[in-house]
């Protein structure tokens, strides 16, 4: 078995990305960097690195597809997808690869990811409803995992297919997992490999509830993609029941309680309209002030 890494970039912290690359020098895993930044990111790259730049931003899904296709076409049997701010080490990768190989012997596996330690709450992230099914003391079976730290094989990718480019960014990782479930594959999460992770810019409590606070434009994709995915039979019912009823409250909180409320409200409403009309791809307008 041989494994490579795909890192998707968008105006990244150069120092962190460089340290991530340097951390895999010893194990000589090939690294593919797919950069959606408007300008090229200047990094010190070894012969094990391949860099692609797309100044017009092709989205996370397509960037992952580009990196995965490159690795698998160049002989890699497995790959790990990382975000530009992932706190992922070579030891984590080696441990996940060993676990993946063990699971392949007895399960039809599509993907394996680390447990996630939320840097906002300083706690291990566990689903409130979907807690997963323990396989043994080191691994549990789950419905979905996030993209950061996701390990998948060339064979699974060829059957499940590419990440859905029409979603562009939000929901891409979960959709692929659910599609894999529909095809009879299983998704696993390691209990022994744990990765610190920061999702969104902040956490804010409003009316006793905790909301993620990210960039306003992300609200467009989140709203639109909820409506796109909710139409599909293979998307879990619990996910639909969680996200669809929350739409009015989410609008109120972002429009009236968060900074840049006018901009946030605009993106949510546009996402609602485009989601109802089933539009896909990159948002078709200039950013709002």
- The mean pLDDT value for 139-148 works out to 94
Q: pLDDT above 70 covers what percent of the chain?
A: 92
Where on the phi/psi map is residue 149: left (φ > 0), alpha (ψ -120 to 50), or beta?
left
Token reading at 138: 């080191």
Q: Is 253 helix (H, G, I), strand (E, B) or coil?
A: helix
Kindly tell me if the per-residue pLDDT of 200 is higher than 80.
no
Q: Comparing 103-107, 117-121, 213-217, 269-273, which segment has the lowest mean pLDDT? A: 117-121
d(CA 289, CA 284): 16
- The mean pLDDT value for 11-23 works out to 95
Query: Whose CA is closest to 2, among 100, 84, 92, 86?
Result: 100
pLDDT per residue over 87-141, tens digit each? Answer: 999 999 999 999 999 999 999 999 999 998 876 666 776 666 567 889 998 999 9
Residue 213: the pLDDT is: 83
Confidence of residue 278 (pLDDT cuts 50, 70, 90): very high
100 neighbors 38 (Cβ within 8 angstroms): no
For 47, list phi and psi in degrees, rounded to 5. -70, -15
Confidence of residue 210 (pLDDT cuts 50, 70, 90): confident
Residue 74: the pLDDT is: 97
Angle CA(8)–CA(50)–CA(33) in degrees, nearest 5?
A: 10
Confidence of residue 209 (pLDDT cuts 50, 70, 90): confident
Kindly tell me if the per-residue pLDDT of 201 is higher than 70.
no
d(CA 160, CA 89): 27
Q: pLDDT above 90 covers what percent of the chain?
A: 80
**H-helix or E-strand containing 93?**
helix 90-104
Residue 204: the pLDDT is: 76
Mean pLDDT of the chain: 92
Token reading at 155: 């064979």
User: Which residues, 6 or more positions from 16, have their beta carbon under 8 angstroms from its beta carbon?
Assistant: 84, 85
Residue 211: the pLDDT is: 78
Token reading at 153: 């094989």
């Amino acid at each position: 078995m041989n494994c490579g890494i795909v890192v998707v970039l968008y105006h990244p912290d150069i120092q962190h990305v460089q340290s991530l690359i340097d951390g895999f020098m010893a194990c000589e895993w090939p690294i593919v960097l797919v950069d959606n930044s408007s300008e090229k990111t200047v990094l010190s790259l070894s012969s094990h690195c391949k860099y692609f730049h797309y100044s017009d931003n092709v989205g996370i899904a397509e960037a992952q597809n580009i990196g995965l296709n490159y690795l698998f076409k160049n002989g890699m049997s497995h790959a790990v997808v990382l975000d530009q701010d992932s706190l992922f080490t070579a030891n984590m990768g080696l441990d996940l690869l060993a676990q993946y190989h063990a699971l392949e012997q007895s399960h039809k596996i599509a993907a394996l990811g680390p447990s996630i330690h939320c840097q906002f709450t300083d706690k291990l992230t566990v689903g409130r409803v979907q807690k997963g099914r323990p396989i043994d003391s080191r691994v549990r079976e789950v419905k979905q995992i996030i993209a950061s730290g996701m390990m998948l094989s060339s064979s699974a990718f060829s059957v499940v297919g590419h990440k859905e480019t029409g979603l562009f960014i939000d929901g891409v990782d979960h959709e692929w997992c659910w599609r894999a479930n529909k095809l009879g594959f299983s998704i696993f999460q390691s209990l022994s490999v744990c990765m610190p992770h920061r999702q969104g810019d902040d956490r804010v409590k409003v009316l006793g509830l905790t909301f993620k606070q990210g960039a306003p434009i992300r609200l467009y994709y989140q709203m639109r993609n909820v409506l796109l995915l909710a139409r599909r039979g293979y998307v879990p019912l619990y996910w639909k029941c969680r996200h669809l009823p929350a739409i009015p409250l989410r609008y109120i909180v972002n429009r009236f309680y968060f900074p840049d409320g006018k901009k946030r409200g605009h993106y949510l409403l546009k996402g609602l309209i485009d989601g109802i009309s089933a539009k896909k791809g990159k948002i078709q307008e200039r950013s709002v002030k």
